[in-house]
Amino acid sequence: MVLHIVGARPQFIKLAPVANAFKELAIPYKVLHTGQHYDYRMSDMHFETLAIDDPDYALGIGSGSHAGQTAKMLEGIETVLVKEHPSLVLVYGDTNSTLSGALCAAKMGIPVGHVEAGVRSFDRNMPEEINRVLTDHISRYHFCPTHNAMDLLKAEGITGILTGDVMYDALLQFTKIPVTHPYTPPFVLTTIHRAENTNEHERFRAIWEGLERISTEVPVIFPVHPRTRDMYPDILKKPVKGISVVEPVSYLHMLAMIRDSRCIVTDSGGVQKEAFLLKSPCITVRDTTEWPETVEAGANMIIATDPEIIFSSVMQMMHQASFDSVNPFGDGKASYHIARFIQENCL
Ligand code: UD1
């Protein structure tokens, strides 16, 4: 039996195609949800809309400091691993749930597979970067989304397995389901939630000012992550003509909104890739990216958190000719390649 450990929104999206591939190949599995994300719109909504079976274990750990949250996860996961003795633990991406799952299993001598291995921003100030690096160094199987990730792992002395990106699989599977959203183009879509942009008030205020500038030219739609909502209630509740602050939307709606937007302003890793794959230009308000392929393709710009730069970059990207480049994220069957590898090598 393979135990999938998930806990945060992007992991439910990554799990969906992988669970489908496991079912297709009749590989026995169970799912553990740490509870890192727990609001309906961050968790249950995605299990429902992506048709993922309810988790076999729901630890309900919730929010906390990094140490507190990780410690509770380690304890909770250990209890499940002692009971279930899985042949393999599969962890996804770069969250505290990823590191906790990998660390707990590795210490118990249970092999770990890391989906989205080898991805690096080279910014150790990001908790996600620490989670990625540590997870890769304690995992046995490294399922890499791109050639770049394979090369980066190799530089750290680790041999990866090139499978492609399960997020591309998810995108292909779920864009087949037609959905409509209430927004009439043209509009700019934005998501901001990273600690680096929300913990420092100056940075968030600068981004917000940039969005206000953009909204004088084109409407801005902002589905707000609870982290951002909780930290900036005053700013976000004050009505600004041209900016729609809305609740987090389903993955299906998000894909449709990305596809229809004139430009994206984000600090999310996943959204940068989805913008590239759905051919919408992207502005990333961060110092680094873990997806340089999107920048090399001319589809994504990494820019400073300065209102004027944010505004002028969006105007530039909105009016530039469309980009056309080779898709580095695989053949859309990454989940199947991962499942097949596990069936042949890990059970
Ligand atoms: C986490 C991941 C990040 C991923 C993101 C996707 C880590 C370190 N970060 O960031 O890599 O891109 O998820 O969304 O694991 N909160 C709620 N309700 C929820 C979830 C969160 O209110 O359902 C609030 C809480 O105030 C919490 C804060 O959001 O303290 C941060 O949540 P946390 O899960 O620690 O990190 P994210 O910012 O969501």
Which of 5, 36, 73 for a ligand 1 pocket mutation test, highest count of atoms within 8 Å of Cβ? Answer: 36
- Please give the Cα distance from 177 to 220 (Å, whole number): 25
- Please give the Cα distance from 147 to 135 (Å, whole number): 19
| Ligand 1 close to Cβ of residue 95 (< 6 A) | yes
**186 preceded by cis ω (within 30°)?**
yes
Q: Give the nearest ligand 1 atom to 39 CA.
A: 23
Of 33, 114, 193, 225, which residue is the catalytic one? 193
Q: Please write the tens of the pLDDT for every residue from 38-84.
A: 999 999 999 999 999 999 999 999 999 999 999 999 999 999 999 99
- Please give the Cα distance from 254 to 277 (Å, whole number): 13
Residue closest via CA to ligand 1's atom 29 equals 227
Q: Give the nearest ligand 1 atom to 270 CA.
A: 12
- Please give the Cα distance from 100 to 341 (Å, whole number): 24
- Please give the Cα distance from 239 to 28 (Å, whole number): 50
Confirm whether 37 is a catalytic residue: no
| Ligand 1 close to Cβ of residue 64 (< 6 A) | no
In the structure encoding, which two tokens stand for residue 35, read together? 């509870």
pLDDT at position 171 is 98
Q: How far is the CA of 105 from the centre of ligand 1 (A)?
A: 23
Number of neighbouring beta carbons within 10 Å of residue 147: 14
Q: Give the nearest ligand 1 atom to 127 CA.
A: 8
pLDDT at position 231 is 97
Q: How far is the CA of 187 from the centre of ligand 1 (A)?
A: 26
Which of 5, 14, 33, 37 for a ligand 1 pocket mutation test, highest count of atoms within 8 Å of Cβ? Answer: 37
Q: Give the nearest ligand 1 atom to 195 CA.
A: 38
- Please give the Cα distance from 96 to 89 (Å, whole number): 15
Q: Are 167 and 273 in contact (CB under 8 A)?
A: yes
Q: Are 61 and 34 in contact (CB under 8 A)?
A: yes
Q: How far is the CA of 98 from the centre of ligand 1 (A)?
A: 13
Residues 6+ apart with CB under 8 A from 262: 185, 186, 187, 188, 218, 280, 281, 318
User: Strand pairing partners for 263?
Assistant: 188
Residues lower than pLDDT 70 in the chain: none
| Ligand 1 close to Cβ of residue 37 (< 6 A) | yes
Residue closest via CA to ligand 1's atom 31 equals 227
- Please give the Cα distance from 133 to 123 (Å, whole number): 11
pLDDT at position 112 is 98
Beginning with the edge strand found earlier in the chain, give each strand of the sheet holding 57-58 in spatial order.
57-58, 29-33, 2-6, 88-92, 112-115, 141-144, 161-162
Q: How far is the CA of 62 from the centre of ligand 1 (A)?
A: 9
| Ligand 1 close to Cβ of residue 127 (< 6 A) | yes
What is the radius of gyration, based on Cα positions, of the chain? Answer: 19
The H or E element spanning position 246 is: strand 243-246
